[in-house]
Amino acid sequence: MIPVFPLNQTPLDAESLAIQDIVRTALLEDLAQGDITTDSLPKLARLQKQALFRVRQDCVVSGLTVAGLVCQMVDPALVFTPMLQDGDVAQAGKVIAQVQGAMASILKAERTALNFLQHLSGVATETRRYVEAVSGTDTRITHTRKTTPGLRLLEQQAVLHGGGVPHRFNLGSCVMLKDNHLQVLGDINPNQVIAVAVKTLRAKISHTTKIEVEADTLAQVQQAVEAGADIILLDNMSPDTIREALSLIQNRAIAEASGGISLDTIRAYAETGVEVISTSKITLGVPSIDVGLDLE
């Protein structure tokens, strides 16, 4: 429960309580019945070794803190030393961390540590591609709730490591009013339904919570602005339509574009001046980064 990093390392911050649970689950998956190969060769427990985590392709690194925690949980005597920080760019061949200690322990930690690094660096690297595609604009890139079950906390951090910003963490973090929610207020004048819903919601939620309204049409954008939405999700609109939406909004709400935006088209969207673009493409099905562990 309580990581005791070697003194030369930054203590994990407090949210690591949640991260520890994620790491523990991953380790039990691989090691609940032991490592029968390594455990049957007892010399491995006595042999002290050093091994290098090395990326085999250019990437933005994410998962170093988690990999360190993996090593520590497998064997507190392992000394894990990151050479970079999460969020740093690494060229192919770069050593991003080293680990020292009993070879048996290194072998047991290896795969789980790498699985985190490969996936999270994949998220960070893909995010960086989107961030770079809009460079020079004021548009920020963020994720959606389309994340890998069980890994949202880490994937959200990886998005930050890639230069993106967080979106709402979960269904409790921000109101998101969608068509489906509006259906229930059916006997209300369609021109007023967003206004009624926003008013209903505002009365119940915290003053610290924002309301985001999904708009599929400019008419809905107009309604959402007038209803006092804090954020308007411009869903599946073309860059031109988004320009019209922004001229309707007139900075009275934050505009977020989403839906069908690819690496090819994102710059055109960003150039509309939309504040935020959210995309599932930086968390869902992202290519993983090749990372290996080389024993010296």
38-57: which residues touch a second copy (CB under 8 A)?
A: 38-41, 43-45, 47
Going by C-alpha positions, the residue among 250, 251, 246, 248 that lies closest to residue 272 is: 246
Going by C-alpha positions, the residue among 110, 142, 90 that lies closest to residue 27 is: 110
Cβ proximity to a second copy: between 91 and 180 the closer is: 180
Catalytic site residue from 30, 132, 230, 235: 235
* Angstrom distance (rounded) from CA 256 to CA 241: 13
The window from 54-62, 207-215, 221-229, 261-269 that contacts a second copy (CB under 8 A) reads 207-215
* Angstrom distance (rounded) from CA 179 to CA 186: 11
Least distance (Å) from a second copy to the CB of residue 271?
A: 19
Tokens for 265, please give them.
């088209």
Least distance (Å) from a second copy to the CB of residue 144?
A: 9
204 included as an active-site residue: no
111 included as an active-site residue: yes
Least distance (Å) from a second copy to the CB of residue 265?
A: 17
Q: What is the DSSP letter of 188?
A: S
Q: Do residues 281 and 126 lie in contact, with contact meaning Cβ atoms separated by under 8 Å?
A: yes
Hey, which residues between 229 and 268 contact a second copy (CB under 8 A)?
A: 231, 254, 256
Residue 170 contacts a second copy per CB under 8 A: yes
Q: Do residues 236 and 218 lie in contact, with contact meaning Cβ atoms separated by under 8 Å?
A: no
Q: Do residues 75 and 109 lie in contact, with contact meaning Cβ atoms separated by under 8 Å?
A: yes
Element (H, E) at 249: helix 239-249
Catalytic site residue from 24, 111, 140, 210: 111
Catalytic site residue from 49, 146, 202, 210: 146
Residue 1 contacts a second copy per CB under 8 A: yes
Hey, which residues between 80 and 119 contact a second copy (CB under 8 A)?
A: 102-105, 107-109, 111-112, 114-116, 118-119
Residue 218 contacts a second copy per CB under 8 A: no
Residue 161 contacts a second copy per CB under 8 A: no
The window from 129-137, 170-178, 219-227, 240-248 that contacts a second copy (CB under 8 A) reads 170-178
Residue 27 contacts a second copy per CB under 8 A: yes
Question: What single string gives the DSSP state of each residue in 29-61?
Answer: HHHTT--HHHHT-THHHH-EEEEEEEESS-EE-
Catalytic site residue from 178, 179, 199, 294: 178
Residue 4 contacts a second copy per CB under 8 A: yes
Cβ proximity to a second copy: between 97 and 213 the closer is: 213
179 included as an active-site residue: no
* Angstrom distance (rounded) from CA 144 to CA 159: 11
Cβ proximity to a second copy: between 96 and 115 the closer is: 115
256 backbone dihedrals φ, ψ, rounded to 5°: -125, 125
Going by C-alpha positions, the residue among 171, 184, 179 that lies closest to residue 223 is: 179
Hey, which residues between 65 and 84 contact a second copy (CB under 8 A)?
A: 72-77
Active site residues per annotation: 111, 146, 178, 214, 235
